[in-house]
Amino acid sequence: MFETATHRFIQGVNGVTIHAVVMGEGEPLLLLHGHPETYLMWHKVAGDLAHRFIVVMCDLRGYGDSDKPEGLPDHSTYSKRIMAEDCIAVMGELGFDCYSVMGHDRGARVAYRMALDHPEVVNKLVLLDIVSTYDMYALSSAEFAKALFHWYLLTQDEPFPEDLILSSRKMYFRNALHIGRYNSENDTSSEAFPQEVYDEYLRHYNVECIHAICEEYRAGECIDRFLDKEDLDAGKKITAETLVLWGANGLVEKFFSPLQCWLRFCTNVQGRALPCGHFIPEEAPIPLLAEVQRFL
């Protein structure tokens, strides 16, 4: 699928190099992956999208072949505000000053921060299987904390979570992909990742990446959720037309009312659940393509 793609290495913020993969023709569309993956998570949908769009897939800072700088004491190196500015720098270098953005998981958090901080660059916005970082903490429960324990584990002071993950890297990685976690006949997670794709994700899940991921979650707890709250209190909303999709068998569906949550952040939002778990582009690529192509 990516044989015709061009790989670029472009400077983001503060000299951090971002790996971007570009393919297709048409209007620009930026795709941002989630944890614990890379741009490769779009492998089941990128080819179809490239028939209608110039598709740009970035490895977020800290992931894949992008740089993985050490976190600063205040964790701002991995705030979604900085990560959003990385993506804007990449798109600007490619010649795009306005484009649509689709993000999954952590990439969706970068995407909605782009839309809040830089509304002039985001044409349409697609958010996959998230509610805001603010709501993730404000609406949490004991059951939520048990199911999504990593939201609390990864925010602990360095090097505790880093060392803990490295002591059983492969087991933790498998858990991060939700493989076998749902214990349901509707669980599609174990079938979503071909072995070569799984191996490529795992190859990047090294010491530097694990530290970056922990820093990114620390930034979520101490920076990102407060930026969200500031915007809510100020009445600042996402003005781009927004599509929210989530997995009917996943944890966002279980613990939240996603569309109701996003109505507080967006002026124009629509959405629904798709028949899958968390990893929508890999578990339900055909329903996702239908929704996204119609919306865009």
pLDDT tens profile 26-44: 999 999 999 999 999 999 9
Query: Which pLDDT score, from 0 to 100, does residue 178 have?
Result: 84
Could you give the CA distance from residue 102 to residue 182 in angstroms, rounded to a whole number? 25
Alpha helices in the chain (DSSP H): 46-49, 80-93, 106-117, 133-138, 142-147, 150-153, 160-167, 169-176, 195-204, 207-219, 225-234, 251-255, 258-263, 280-283, 285-295
pLDDT tier for residue 4 given thresholds of 50, 70 and 90 = confident
Least confident of 29-38, 56-65, 185-194: 185-194
Residue 181 near residue 148 (C-beta atoms within 8 A): no
Gap between the Cα atoms of 283 and 140, Å rounded:
26
- Confidence (pLDDT) at 131: 98
Question: What is the CB neighbour count within 10 angstroms for residue 195?
Answer: 7
Confidence band for 149, pLDDT divided at 50, 70 and 90:
very high
Residue range 250-264, pLDDT digits in tens: 999 999 999 999 999
Q: Which listed residue (105, 187, 228, 231) is catalytic?
A: 105
CA distance 116 to 241: 12
So what's the pLDDT on residue 191? 79
To the nearest 10°, report the CA torsion of 220, 245, 40, 120.
-70
Contact 109, 133 (CB under 8 A): yes
ω into residue 69 within 30 of 0, thus cis?
A: no
pLDDT grade, residue 180 (50/70/90)? low
Angle between helix 160-167 and helix 207-219 axes, rounded to 10 deg: 140
- Asked if residue 5 has pLDDT above 80, the reply is yes
Q: How far apart are CA 147 and CA 181, in angstroms?
A: 9
105 among known catalytic residues: yes
Q: How confident is the model at residue 186 (pLDDT cuts 50, 70, 90)?
A: low
pTM: 0.96
Query: Could you confirm whether 150 is annotated as catalytic?
Result: no
pLDDT digits (tens, 9 = 90+) for 79-118: 999 999 999 999 999 999 999 999 999 999 999 999 999 9
Q: Is the confidence at residue 235, as pLDDT, over 70?
A: yes
Q: Which of 43, 178, 204, 278 is catalytic?
A: 278
